[in-house]
Amino acid sequence: MAIETLKLGLIGAGRIGRLHAEHVQRRMKDAQIAVITDAVPAAAAACAKDFGIPETAPDFRAILARKEIHGVVVCSPTDTHTQIIEEAAAAGKHVFCEKPIDADLARIDRALAAVRQAGVILQVGFNRRFDANFQRVRRAIVSGEIGTPHQIHVISRDPGPPPIEYVRRSGGLFMDMTIHDFDMVRFLAGDEVVEVYATGGVRVDPAIGEAGDIDTAVILLKFQGGATGMIENCRKAVYGYDQRVEVLGSAGAIRIDNNYPNTAVVSTRDHVRRDLPLNFFMERYVESYLEEVRLFLEAIRTGAPSPLSGEEGRVPVQIAQAATRSLRENRPVALSEIK
């Protein structure tokens, strides 16, 4: 019998949890968040009030115990993800989990094994795959419109660095920021990365270096089929959120630019200018966040495969670990070295 309304539990009421709450509660007529929990009860209560979630729970296990819950949306800190995935799978709940699954490949593998054993859906939240611009680039490659890819160039720069407290626990630039780009180059190329060389430094904030991280990087990638890739990252671009891609193929090229709040161009005798790009990911990628959850719900309803499986979500973590080793050892690192 068809499920009239899918009921979800939301685990984590931070910035991204609130975004998913708003989307499900206000923009999806056939699903609702029935209960929410957060390590800070006041945060859960505020999110419940703001978005009409009927109940809060003391912890995620209280959500998993609810028989009417079909799936959970995991927006808690990264180091809690695999435990929640394993216990949710054992409880028969489908799981949407924000990226990354974990920073440790062994813990990821245990979680994926639990998902396979339980036969539930796991979808990983690499939302940029579902952005219309990146989808268009992917179609140009898959259809042969630009021929065989030779070079992939991704530029990803934030408008400003995160709080230093976040930097200290995020796992580093490659794990919390570039990981989106590692997933994107695989998605666009339709091929596997086999070697990584990373270089970078501290150019934005000395406190980031004191925390043991870098804030500016260039990563070179070799693909199994022979193509090369380059990713440019920086924690701060004074003009806003910079998200661009160019792919050169044997029969042409395709490029996508930043998204802007409007298409107006002001021309005077002194200058020609336009407004700055959309300021950050909550604005730039809002529709992709909506689409990824919509497809998760569709998979629950139809039994279709996850549109972005745990196995797919594992590979960017492996690439991030290779990039970290490359930066530390100042050499190219093959993915086969990362066990």
- The span from the CA of 286 to the CA of 3, in Å, is 27
Domain that holds residue 107: 6-120
Mean pLDDT of 171-184: 96
- Pair (233, 264) in one structural domain: yes
CATH number at residue 174: 3.30.360.10
User: How many domains in the chain?
Assistant: 2
pLDDT at 202: 98
Task: Indicate if the pLDDT at residue 128 is higher than 70.
Answer: yes
Q: Is residue 286 part of a domain?
A: no
pLDDT at 2: 59
- Pair (114, 149) in one structural domain: no
- Pair (102, 171) in one structural domain: no
Inter-residue contact 310 to 124 (CB < 8 Å): yes
120, 141, 175 - which closes a domain: 120
Determine which of 63-67, 243-247, 279-283 has the lowest per-residue pLDDT on average. Answer: 279-283
Q: Where are the alpha helices (DSSP H) in 96-205?
A: 105-118, 132-142, 164-169, 173-176, 178-189
- Pair (108, 220) in one structural domain: no
Q: Is residue 297 part of a domain?
A: no
Mean pLDDT of 311-330: 98
Q: Is residue 312 part of a domain?
A: no
- Pair (181, 263) in one structural domain: yes
Q: Where are the alpha helices (DSSP H) in 190-256?
A: 206-210
pLDDT tens-place string over residues 50-70: 999 999 999 999 999 999 999
Pairing outcome for strands 94-98 and 122-125: parallel
- The span from the CA of 11 to the CA of 91, in Å, is 15
Mean pLDDT of 269-289: 90
CATH number at residue 11: 3.40.50.720
Mean pLDDT of 259-263: 92
pLDDT tens-place string over residues 103-123: 999 999 999 999 999 999 999
Largest CA distance in the chain: 67
pLDDT at 94: 98
Residues 6+ away with beta carbon under 8 Å from 205: 161, 164, 215, 235, 236
Q: Is residue 295 part of a domain?
A: no
Q: If DSSP codes are grouped into helix, strand and coil, which group holds residue 320?
A: helix
- Pair (138, 116) in one structural domain: no
pLDDT at 1: 42
- Pair (135, 93) in one structural domain: no
Q: If DSSP codes are grouped into helix, strand and coil, which group holds residue 28?
A: coil
Task: Indicate if the pLDDT at residue 289 is higher than 70.
Answer: yes
Q: Is residue 229 part of a domain?
A: yes
